[in-house]
Structure formats: C-alpha cells, structure tokens
Chains A and B, each alone.
Chain A
C-alpha cells in the first residue's frame, strides 16, 4: 500500500463546475496535510494546508480532513480553465520531522 494515494486521473470538469480531488494516507500518525498545485514544467505551489478535522475554506478552495477515515480532499468551486494543473497531496507524519510524503498527483483539466 502506498503511503499517500490520490484518485487516479486525469479528471476533466466543465468550467464553473466543482472539481473534487481525493487523497488517502496510510499512517494514522500523520498530522499535517498540504495541497500543492503544479502547472506543467513548473514547481509545486502551496494552495491549502489543513491540520484539524473538518473543513477549511480559502476563496474557491475548500480542504476537508477526516483523520478517522484517513482521508483528505480538495474541492475547487466555480472551476476555471486556469485551474487546469496537477494537484499534489502531501502528508507530514508525526515521526518524520519535516519530511513530506507526496502522492503521485491528479491531473485536472477544466474545459471552457
């Protein structure tokens, strides 16, 4: 089992729709969760972080964390073509200090 798994893509949604990206993790000791956006050939860019169970909203983005189910998701409301990118889920485990474990990413395409 991979430490961090993301829903396989690519994911395609029409402009204005809600895009839902999912991530599960295997280590129950994980304490910090991050979503990065990466445009093709560019570096990952942090868009959301979440540490407590529940929802965290920032503009059109909502991160959801459920530690009991070991599940973290990212919702993008009113999706725009500029949201088309690969989204990386990253998890920091309690025992790993500052190290992050990344999922393989989900490629999102928003169609005009």
Chain B
C-alpha cells in the first residue's frame, strides 16, 4: 500500500530534550516536505527536499533541522524543543520534476504527529 509513515504519532516531552520525528514513504517520491499546522494559521511549510541530499528552508524553519540521506526517509529534528513548537506536524511527499506531468502530481500526507513541548 502506498503510504507516508510518520513516527511517533503522539509525543509529550520537555523543553530542551532533543527529539526526532521520522517520515518514510514507499512511493519512490523525489519531493518530501514537513509542515506544521496551528489553529488559525493553516499549514505552514518548515523544510522541504527536492531529492537526496537536497534540502531547503520553507516558511518557518527556525528551530528545526532535516536531513535526506535516503530517498525514502526525511526525518525532522528538534535539537532543543521549546513550547512554541507544540503543534501538529505533517510529512508529505510527491513526484518532482519539470513539465506538466510532474506539476500535476498531488502531495500525499502522513497521518500526522502531535507534539507537546512542556
């Protein structure tokens, strides 16, 4: 089954304790992205990756790191979490490339990770 898998689904932790949220996709997608969703603010992009070893900042990258060592995995790292990073996080993936064939490809989302930083 084609899917994007995030872990953990829920996490309560304390300020300053490093954490990693994993994201894996089995669709051979080049493009992967992390979003956070907060009430009244919609989905905001944190980081994205166009392919292996190619990552770039989204709209709200502060306090986050990512890596893309393998095509299927795109972990989100919070080196020193703070309460303002309490949010619902989504990983998404899609095919990438130029031309209409790729621009029409939708993004597929994982089930989400609800993080609470105390």
Contact = CB atoms under 8 A, between A and B. Distances in A.
B42 A51 contact: no
Given A42-B112, A88-B43, A104-B42, A98 B106 contact: no
A100 B40 CA distance: 18
Given A42-B111, A43-B112, A98-B94, A88 B42 contact: yes
Interface in A23-67: 31-32, 34, 41-46, 49, 51
Nearest to B44: A102
Contacts of B50: 97-98
Contacts of B48: 98-99
B96 to A, nearest CB: 4
Contacts of A43: 90, 109-112
B12 interface: no
Interface string B78-118: 00000000001010001110001011111111111010000
B23 to A, nearest CB: 12
Interface of B: 30-31, 33, 40-43, 45, 48, 50, 58, 88, 90, 94-96, 100, 102-112, 114
